[in-house]
Amino acid sequence: MKSKARIVVVGSINMDMVINSPTLPVKGETILGEDYFTVPGGKGANQAVAASRLGAHVVMFGCLGQDQFGQQLLQHLQNEGIVTDNITVLEESPTGVAFIPVTPSGDNCIVVSPGANMRLTPQHIEQGEEIIKNADVLMVQLEIPMETVRTALQIAKKHNVITILNPAPAKALSNDIYQLTDIITPNETEGSLLAAGNVQQSLSAEAIMSELSQSGVGKVLLTRGGDGVVYQDDNGISVVPACKVEVVDTTAAGDACNAALAVALAEKLNFPEAVEFAVKTSALSVTKAGAQTSLPYRDEVERFICQL
């Protein structure tokens, strides 16, 4: 990995409200939790911070509210070395927030109130076309309007920029979104929804791969938590097992994986090598609590790889 990665992230910026909980609540249940804290989050911002910590030059497109959380998050992103010139601060919308209970084993569930994130428009992205044109990789997720996702992918595709779509939160996608996506990175739940149209129907990795490969998408990377990842490229289906680590919190594991994949590809690694790097980076992230607080720096990842 030699050349400096140039990454553009189009996505959400939230303040995460995390509570340590003995279990995850079921319908109608109230649980007495333990410690509570706030931490910068949002899938877009998580991936931007992760890529920056891995050594990339990162530009982010997003929206914040003109409130205390918005001010804190904008300053935080700047402190992380991310270019924030294309982050719009809105008077009329609150900053997005997420509520996240986390169990002692690291399991979590997340409820997001998107706020200003849903005010990120195609026009915001069109104004930054020159920035996207000069990127190596564009990363986008689904915590922003779909028309904005589409515009970002279209502009990147127009300029032969690698496009990575993390389809979270899970929702049905139109054919043109697939065709604009070089790499799609669902987890098993998201993959089942995309492949079967029903989040309640759990499909095998092979079934998900088979269905998504017919959608027009370039490559598929399916994340499976402690079971590692399965990916499909021109050489067929491959499995990369997870690294054995002590799990503290899985909140941003997928974001770490996506960012590491993007950085590795921007640094000209081939796809299997990039996936290996992504799996190792993701494994290191689950050994710490919180979303962005768990995202590792490049030297930490390299030391971790050396110890394996």
| Per-residue b or e along 272-292, where b marks 16 or more CB atoms closer than 10 Å to that residue's CB | eebbbbbbbbbbbbbbebbbb
81 in a labelled binding site = no
pTM to 2 decimals? 0.92
- Domain of 229, CATH number, reads 3.40.1190.20
Contact (Cβ atoms closer than 8 angstroms) between residue 72 and residue 20:
no
Share of the chain above pLDDT 90, in %: 72
28 in a labelled binding site = no
12 in a labelled binding site = no
Instruction: Give the per-residue pLDDT at 273.
Output: 97
**How would residue 2 be classed by pLDDT, with cut points 50, 70 and 90?**
low
pLDDT per residue as tens digits for the range 157-167: 999 999 999 99
Residue 3 resides in a domain? no
pLDDT surpassing 70 at residue 199: no
Q: 78-82, 105-109, 153-157, 293-297: lowest mean pLDDT where?
A: 105-109
Q: How far is Cα 92 from Cα 225, in angstroms, rounded to an integer?
A: 38
Residue 2 resides in a domain? no
41 in a labelled binding site = no
Report the pLDDT averaged over residues 285-295: 87
Q: At what angle do helices 298-307 and 271-285 cross, to 10 degrees?
A: 100
Residue 1 resides in a domain? no
Instruction: Give the per-residue pLDDT at 100.
Output: 86
Residue 58 resides in a domain? yes
Q: Tell me which residue range forms the domain holding 119.
A: 11-24+35-307
Q: How far is Cα 253 from Cα 237, in angstroms, rounded to an integer?
A: 22
pLDDT per residue as tens digits for the range 69-101: 999 999 999 999 999 999 999 999 999 998 889
What's the structural domain count of the chain? 1
84 in a labelled binding site = no
- List the strands of the sheet with 162-165, edge to edge: 83-90, 57-65, 6-10, 137-140, 162-165, 183-184, 219-223, 229-233, 236-240
Residue 204 resides in a domain? yes
For residue 269, the tally of other CB atoms under 10 A from its CB is 16
Residue 246 resides in a domain? yes
End-to-end Cα separation, the chain, in angstroms = 19
219 in a labelled binding site = no
Which of the residues are catalytic? 255
Residue 30 resides in a domain? no
Report the pLDDT averaged over residues 196-225: 84
